[in-house]
Structure 1
Amino acid sequence: MKAALQNYQDRMRRVLDHIDRHLDDDLDLDTLSGVAAFSKFHFHRQFSATFGLSVHRYVQLARMKRASHQLAYGDAQSVTEIAMDAGYDAPDAFARAFRQRFGQSPSSFRTSPEWEPWLVAFGPLETARSKLMQTTYTTNDVTIRNVPRTKIAIMEHRGSPETLRATIQRFIAWRKAAGLHPSTSPTFNVWRSERRPVSPADYSVDLCVGTDQPIAANGEGIKAGEIPGGRCAVLRIVGYTDNLEPAALYLYRDWLPASGEEARDFPIYCQRLSFFPEVPEHETVAELFLPLK
């Protein structure tokens, strides 16, 4: 029974992987039921029963999430191009669907996104993915590495996690203006609180970019700092790197007690090596660093 259940879940997981890899393709029922090797007459009910939403809605949400990231964090594509990428034949149809989900037009969202309705809209997508997409880590996934000291520019986020994406948007705009592209200037997040503290106001994370440039006075409150060098336990995460809490919990709960190591007096942090939507979500990569004595 356990082996049969695992096989069933693997087939469903294969469908989610296929959707994320082929958002620009025709993702009809025949195609996706074939990926899962299930009968097309039952697949839509099996999918809904497993993930809590229909295949059609899952595909819509996945495409709309990519579109919203392209609007908020990028300026290379026009609204019309983003609408076409999201599977809409005309910009006005995309605009109506976008406004219905987020309460804003695409143009308004690009200029000044309201993130609270955005988080609510994509709750079902994240819930669906969390059912079968959790990664199980082992000691073989962790390496101990001596990392160099890195000078950084820091934008602090202090306050509710619900407003973090607005800070990220400001951070991206600032680093673009400063000429600090992710391909040449590494990106770090330093966590100074739990992901979900008892009081949301206590949430604290530093958004950082590696740079040797002097930090001039600026309206965004960017300040200079550094990530100290030294030994670190490093866990590499591939795919769906928005939530690194499960990986951090593995390091603290499982790996650290069994390793005989002691944590050093610096917060856990990550380096983000690739970014959605520049790459599909399942191809995003981050490395999590637990500083050691």
Structure 2
Amino acid sequence: MDDNRAKAYAARFDKVLDYIEANLGETLTVERLSQVANFSRFHFHRQFADYIGVGVARYIVLLRFRRASHQLVFNRGARVIDIALEAGFENPESFSRAFRHTFGRSPSDFRRNPDWEDWHTRYRFRIPERKQNVQVEIVDFETTLIAVMAHRGPVEKVNDSVAQFIEWRKASGLSPKDSVRTFGIAHDNPDTTEPAQFRFDVCGEVAAAVPPNPQGVTTGTIPGGRCARVRHLGSHQRIAECIYPLYRDWLPESGEELRDFPLYFHYVNLLPDTPEGDLVTDIYLPLR
């Protein structure tokens, strides 16, 4: 397959993957998905599995379980029956059986004690980098006082730090997610950093210094200054598709120089309140 044909083939799969992500709450038939990709429905199963590494029905279930997992852990008030129905199951019993078959644990067990590192092993698909035409803006970011939950260790365990930060938010009331901004500061690239050395800060805007607390949240600052900003739409799992073009393509051509502060994210909306396909994340690259 020549390069142009390969790119066209990849673009058709990008289209169907975007469609699945945006319509997880709908009925997703093979006939409809093959039409979106402009493939023969008779061969779509095989083409999808060969390209992604998992069958289309299994892929859809796993994406629905991904949202269900976040709801179980981060929305403790949500009933299992409601999570099951939203995931496309007729009753909590069938949802629990399928969840246990996938993750080796019941939804209730996962809610009580999630093992995110093991959970991530189910989501290692064979998806090539999806090409993004990033739109870069140069903006001035104002110095912002933040509460910081420092994560140190494998990227797969970041959700454990997120849970600690949410616990602090609820207990302190000092950084309510509905009225202030939530950030993530990426000190390292998880693709090139040893898991034990990976650093990521989970942050929320605050009005004053953070008092001592059992969760270990501290006070920090995002310094003001010029930044390149790119808006990423969709799952946080695909955010690198906007980051790499920013570094690889835009930065060398722009003539800009980087400031001595890590790349960071402003999460305009958040899981599990927002479906993955509707997530909006602004990526900031600090410039001199």
TM superposition score normalised by structure 2: 0.89
Give percent identity, aligned residues only.
40
Matched, 1:209 2:204: yes
Gaps of 5+ in 2: none
Q: Look up the match of 1:237.
A: 232
Question: Paired residue for 1:135, among 131, 134, 148?
Answer: 131
Change (3 A) 1:36 1:178: same
Matched, 1:58 2:52: no
| 1:239-258 correspondence runs (5 A) | 239-258=234-253
**How many Å apart are 1:5 and its aligned residue?**
4.8
Q: What per-residue deviation string (whole Å, max 9, x for no partner) do you get for residues 224-283 of structure 1?
A: 111111111112211222353443333333333322222122222111112234333232
Aligned-pair Cα RMSD in Å: 2.2
Q: Look up the match of 2:171.
A: 177
Q: Look up the match of 2:18.
A: 17
Secondary structure, aligned partner of 2:158: helix
Change (3 A) 1:27 1:155: same
| 1:111-150 correspondence runs (5 A) | 111-124=112-125, 127=126, 130-131=127-128, 134-137=130-133, 141-150=135-144
Q: Look up the match of 1:261.
A: 256
**How many Å apart are 1:64 and its aligned residue?**
1.0
Q: Distance in 1 between matches of 2:245 and 2:8?
A: 25
Question: Paired residue for 2:194, among 172, 191, 199?
Answer: 199
Gaps of 5+ in 1: none
**How many Å apart are 1:25 and its aligned residue?**
2.2
Q: Distance in 2 between matches of 1:7 and 1:256?
A: 26
Q: Which amino acid aligns with 2:148?
A: I
Matched, 1:162 2:163: no
Hey, which bits of structure 1, 4+ residues long, moved more than 6 A? none
Q: Is the 8 A contact 1:190 1:270 kept in 2?
A: yes
**How many Å apart are 1:37 and its aligned residue?**
3.7
Q: Is the 8 A contact 2:75 2:272 kept in 1?
A: no
Q: Distance in 2 between matches of 1:185 and 1:108?
A: 32
Q: What per-residue deviation string (whole Å, max 9, x for no partner) do you get for residues 157-214 of structure 1?
A: 1122232111112112222333333331101111222324543221111111011044
Q: Distance in 2 between matches of 1:84 and 1:74?
A: 15
Q: Distance in 2 between matches of 1:247 and 1:102?
A: 30
Q: Which amino acid aligns with 1:18?
A: Y
Q: Distance in 2 between matches of 1:14 and 1:205?
A: 31
Secondary structure, aligned partner of 1:57: helix
Secondary structure, aligned partner of 1:225: strand
